Amino acid sequence: MINKIDIDTKTFVRFWLVILGFVVAAMLLWRAQTGLMIVGISLFLALALNQPVAMISKKLPGRSRVAAAAVAYALVILFLGAVVFLVIPPIVQQTAQFVQRIPEVVESTTSQWTSLGTFINEYNLQPQLDSALASIQSAAGSWAGDFGQNIIVGLNSFFAFIAASILVLVLTFLMLIEGPAWMNRLWRLYGDKEKVKSHRRIAGRMYTVVSGYVNGQMIVSSTGALFAGLIVFILSFIFPEVPSSLALPTAAVTFLFSLIPMFGATIGGVTVAVLLALNNIPAAIIYIVFFVIYQQVENNFISPRVQSKRIDLSALMVLAAVTIGLYMFGVVGGIIAIPIAGCIRVLVDEYLDQRRDKQEQEKPKVILAQKVAKKAK
């Protein structure tokens, strides 16, 4: 026998209004995702730099946050300049050496091409080769036809990226300067002191999550840079063509790019592999094998364990958060997914704690009501 559930019209309307509200909110968030990402990245950077800026401001005359933020920006620029100074000269040197070796490469390629021609004629592979070349020519023609449009789209994307980067830097600077004042204004709007205390505690825990994530990312990047520099230093002993001076730029490149979650380490690994290939192909192949193995270890063991301790999330939750962030909002989503998941964890914990406290407070009343009911019977 099927039990019939009666739902009144008011409940039915409320249910569908809630569903409609969620759909409209999701659509608005999707339409405004670029702006929200810019603001979100700026807020993330401001939270990450807030502690260094606060420490610098305490040591400056007048404790000016404007001067402290400017000093923090200057230190970041100096750090990036030092990285460029360590990276660019070796790249130029390796490129110059490769240019000097071009005649040898051309001669080797010519001899190999002659052997390849003999192989093609011997096994009658010319028709297959002609077909492959025709396909390549067709694809190249199609790409050349869209070349102008691709250039325009690429330029638009490049200038949009530059504009977004400048906007992020400006917003971050303003948040660092005006953030504490706005937070104080917000707390003054509260009439209930208990709520102020509770919300301050929640905000403090969320700040700890974000700063812990940044520190964890620094640890992971430093570990990867150390191993990358060490493997290149070892390769310089195995292959005389690889200079030992390439180890330090390798560590700098790996550290800088590894600060960008998900895809940054891959860019750094490819850059180092190209530098090694300019000197010795087997060395580059060995480094690629090392890089692939190390990335598996880092992504599945080192990074989840470090981040889980810093932001109080399990390794499974870290991997799940990054996956969801990547599929929903792309690369930027992957970058900010972990601290957002940590902040959500803080909110859920606070809600459960408050609910548990409320139940504990109401428990004596429930027991008393039960005793009264028994006496009445």
Write out pLDDT tens, residues 129-146. 667 667 766 665 665 556
Whether residue 375 is contained in a domain is answered as: no
> In the predicted model, is pLDDT for residue 230 greater than 90?
yes
Position 295: which residue type? Answer: Q
Joined together, the tokens standing for residue 280 give 């010795």
Whether residue 8 is contained in a domain is answered as: no
Q: What is the rounded CA–CA span in Å between residue 81 and residue 164?
A: 22
Give the helix ranges, DSSP H, for the chain. Answer: 9-31, 33-59, 65-100, 102-122, 126-145, 147-188, 193-238, 247-258, 264-277, 281-297, 303-311, 315-376
Helix axes 102-122, 65-100, angle to 10 degrees: 60
Residue of higher predicted confidence among 251 and 29: 251
Whether residue 366 is contained in a domain is answered as: no
Quick one: pLDDT band at residue 286, thresholds 50, 70, 90? very high
Whether residue 118 is contained in a domain is answered as: no
Which structural domain, as residue segments, surrounds residue 172?
A: 34-113+156-189
- Name the average pLDDT for the chain: 75
Looking at residue 99, its pLDDT comes to 64
Looking at residue 291, its pLDDT comes to 92
Mapping DSSP onto H, E and C, the string for 170-215 reads HHHHHHHHHHHHHHHHHHHCCCCHHHHHHHHHHHHHHHHHHHHHHH
The segment with the largest mean pLDDT, out of 196-210, 225-239, 354-368, is 225-239
Looking at residue 71, its pLDDT comes to 86
Whether residue 15 is contained in a domain is answered as: no
Give the long-range contacts of residues 199-207, CB within 8 A, separation 24 or more: 202/346, 202/347, 202/350, 205/346, 205/350, 206/342, 206/343, 206/346, 207/47, 207/50
Are residues 172 and 282 located together in one domain of the fold?
no
Into how many domains does the chain fold?
2
Angle of CA points 304, 309, 314, to nearest 5°: 55
pTM (2 d.p.)? 0.60
Query: Which of 230, 211, 214, 217 has its CA nearest to residue 298?
Result: 217
The segment with the largest mean pLDDT, out of 179-188, 236-245, 310-319, 335-344, is 236-245
The segment with the largest mean pLDDT, out of 13-22, 209-218, 357-366, is 209-218
Are residues 203 and 104 located together in one domain of the fold?
no
Looking at residue 1, its pLDDT comes to 46
**DSSP letter string over 17-37?**
HHHHHHHHHHHHHHHTHHHHH
Question: What's the pLDDT tens digit per position in 154-166?
Answer: 667 777 778 877 8
Are residues 99 and 87 located together in one domain of the fold?
yes
Are residues 75 and 206 located together in one domain of the fold?
no
Are residues 346 and 257 located together in one domain of the fold?
yes
Position 201: which residue type? Answer: R
Quick one: pLDDT band at residue 216, thresholds 50, 70, 90? confident
